[in-house]
Amino acid sequence: MSPVREFFRSTSAIPFFLLHVGALCAFYFPFQASYLIWIFALYYVRMFAVTAGYHRYFSHRSYRMNRFWQFCMAFLAESSGQKGVLWWAAHHRYHHQHSDLETDIHSPRRHGFWRSHVGWIISHDYDEYDPKLIQDYRKFPELVFINNYNWIPPGVLAGLVLAIGGWPLFFWGFLPSTVLLYHGTFTINSLAHIWGSRRFDTGDDSRNNFFLSLVTLGEGWHNNHHHYMHACRQGLYWWEIDITFYVLKVLSWVGIVRDMRSARHEASAG
């Protein structure tokens, strides 16, 4: 089936498509320079929650937080509109178990660029997740609740933006930043397995890419990550910019984050 037919075959594609159309509707409202600040802030604050929360915390347990901050991180991550926290983490753990094998759910080598970038997440094939893969966090009822009602966090954020700036800010701030956030996140599934360099022989196609690390606050050091998947820092050298790690380090100074796992610890444990 062609990518276009596959896209419109899924009812999950309808809100995804409408968000893109809605972002283009921003041009019906007069532009203000302050809208660029909103787009930048809404993109990168939520990108941090995706990378630090969905990925490094819930998928890989690369550091620890108390239950309150854990919920706050999950709520902020879900404001990205990228489905539930348990759903996200369980599928990502599955990806690491099957990276670039035939059973990998978003391998560009196996399924093509389109499928790895966006086709898999809007497909009904992956609406469910294996609860056995995420038992450690399923024990928290508040996480189960917002995973099941994952429309609440993006809905709350959209409502706040609308209350602050009305429809112009909603169309210029919330919608474009959400669409950009989708594709920024999805580049790690697609481009980071195609474009870049390889430091480690990880048995898959994961690659390091400086440009993607800027777009995703450090996730572009993807080959490093697949070698040291539980390490909190993915940029292993000073020139490998990893803003997510830097922010987490600051949060550790004030006690929000603790027990940050390093590549050195993982290597010694292996």
Q: Is residue 37 pLDDT above 50, yes or no?
A: yes
pLDDT given for residue 266 in this prediction? 59
Length of the chain: 270
How confident is residue 270, by pLDDT bands cut at 50, 70 and 90? very low
Mean pLDDT of the 231-252 span: 97
Q: Is residue 162 pLDDT above 50, yes or no?
A: yes
pLDDT given for residue 5 in this prediction? 54
For helices 152-169 and 67-78, angle between their N-to-C axes, nearest 10 degrees: 50
How confident is residue 125, by pLDDT bands cut at 50, 70 and 90? confident
> Percentage of the chain with pLDDT > 90?
85
Q: Measuring CA to CA, how many Å separate 226 from each of 36, 63, 163, 200, 244? A: 34, 17, 42, 9, 17
Q: Which residues, other chains included, contact 74 with Cβ-Cβ below 8 Å and sequence gap of 6+?
A: 53, 58, 85, 143, 146
Return the bridge partners of 221, or none.
208
- Kindly state the tokens that stand for 60: 């890989």
Q: Which residue has the higher pLDDT, 264 or 110?
A: 110
Mean pLDDT of the 224-230 span: 97
pLDDT given for residue 9 in this prediction? 52
Q: Is residue 53 pLDDT above 50, yes or no?
A: yes
Handedness of CA 86, 97, 204, 119 (dihedral sign): negative
User: Mean pLDDT in the chain?
Assistant: 92
pLDDT given for residue 123 in this prediction? 81
pTM: predicted TM-score of the whole model, two decimal places: 0.92
Residue type, 78: E
Mean pLDDT of the 76-101 span: 96
Mean pLDDT of the 191-219 span: 97
Half-sphere exposure of 43 (CA within 13 A, CB side): 22
Q: For the range 157-161, what are the long-range contacts, defined as Cβ-Cβ under 8 Å and sequence gap of 24 or more? A: 157/42, 157/79, 161/38, 161/42
